Structure 1
Amino acid sequence: MSTPAPGSVLRGAVDLSSLRNRPQTPAPAPASADAPAGGATPLVFDVTDATFGDVLELSRTVPVVIDLWAEWCGPCKQLSPVLEKVVTELGGRLVLAKVDVDANPQLAQGFRAQSIPMVLALVAGQPVPLFTGAVPEQQVRDVFAQLLQLAAQHGVTGMVPVEATPPAEAPGDEPLPPLHAEAFAAIEEGDYARAVAAYEKALVEDPRDADARAGLGQVQLLARVQDADLQAARAAAAASPTGIEAQFLVADLDVVGGHVEDAFGRLLELFAALPADERAPVRERLLELFGLIGDDDARVIRARTRLASLLF
């Protein structure tokens, strides 16, 4: 899994222009190097489409790491605690802003989130790409160290008072079962085939293991898009409107990037366009993605309703 380090100059890798002048609701107040101990900026906080302008302003004082995630994304849940731990240990030299891509589609689009977890930074209002995917803790530390050097070159050296962050609660989660732990370790290394094998073995041992089944689906999705190029995939899909594999790849990329409704719409249109005897793989892929997102999700409910209407 490639992990580009921060460049020697700030690069406008994403288009934030549509978000800079949006009406704002209050977000964490900017901090400075000599901010009082009672400052209001926490080290870790959520950011939304509406509060992003304040985060841009904050990045002129202290580097802001952006974590793009989603509730259904297994690797996101693995990476986020690592990010929070490293940011906390840096004692206020960085802050972490978390973006739920499902709830904040404009930010996801502005950051060109082709897959998640996706991590970048803001320094003096400018985006700096960091890495995509769940990476090992040491790699996070190395990238953040380079980010701090880059920020210092641009005069962004403020700090957030560590007293502003409430103490972390003691972890209460039980240790992962061995095969689940093996799968997570493989995901960290980008070895999705080994993760798939671990989850499949867990399901052989316990076919009712819902966590293993969910993890297997997520890793299989990540494996399918691991080396995919979004622009090339979209071009191939446009050239072959009823090409099942071409449409599948773009749908997978859309799901990983948080564009769930686009993925469902693409596959439902493909289902409707195909002859009845060629539809089975599309239905199976839709059902697989429904399971990943969750049966109670409103987008899944709408897509299931449309699929049923096409079937009968």
Structure 2
Amino acid sequence: MQPRNMSMSGAVDLAAVKAAAEAKEKAEQARSERERRQAAGGAAPSVPLVVDVDEATFQEEVMQRSTEVPVVIDFWAEWCQPCKQLSPVLERLAEEYDGKFVLAKVDVDANQMIFQAFSQQLGIQGIPAIVAIVAGQPVPLFTGVTPEAQIRQVLDELITVAEQQFGITGLPAGAGAGEPGDEGAEEPAGPHDGPLAAAAEALDRGELEGAILAYESVLANAPANTEAQLGLAQARLLHRIEGLDAQAVRKAAADDPSDIEAQLRVADLDLAGGHVPDAFSRLVDTVARTAGDEREAVRVRLLALFEVVGGEDPRVAKARGALSRVLF
């Protein structure tokens, strides 16, 4: 799963850093607006948990809504018998999860432009096909009839990534039932919220050394903090490629495949440019033809790039398998 970029933090065109920050800001604005309306005596707007979407409503119901809650798209058609098995399960789970995600149903026959766009981008071959949108970023989930237990696992991972990487926590409980949701008291700020915000701001401003130090400070006190782990991995990547002459680096790597530093630099450039499989393949191949300290250095760098993309991303899982095969 990609918004760890989703990841589900997705492909890192290193707008991933900026996209996550913007998504968090939009999510916070949506929460603030709900709170403002409730404080003024107004009811929280009712949001249907299952909605039929067409080309006219897609932008509002899916793309804009995805800054506030993960939107799961069910691509279906009337003639599709597997769709008739899967759709009721998804609809029931949308109600059960009570605002943690919204289900958007897209009839592919009536909305061919939407389906074609996703097919081309994600390589979808048929239906039923289930895709999520988190902070405007598409995340392929699964295709075909899938066991409910597996669907629940995928949804749980999606919700976790949306919250941890993008700050998207879903709708208030009950908001989809047509009655005002009671959000209760605000959760107290966590002990690392301030330092994390400062680190993210430094990263946004391009103050990479400061961002690295700030994230390292958080991790010194909270080694398992996933937001700090992701931020540190991204800041270190940006710092490594800062000032590189991409053309010269690529030429050096092509001229001398044994130049390990050149291979590492090209992999960094590829990842930062969104060419994730190329970056992973280059380093897996380099691991395969090296030994000793050189092999370990390449392996460590590859693990660092996995952190930038996010462990739930299917490209990471594939590259981990390839790495295991060359190591063992």
More helix by share: 2
With normalisation by structure 1, the TM-score equals 0.47
With normalisation by structure 2, the TM-score equals 0.45
Tell me: higher relative CO, structure 1 or 2? Use CA pairs within 8 A at least 6 residues apart: 2
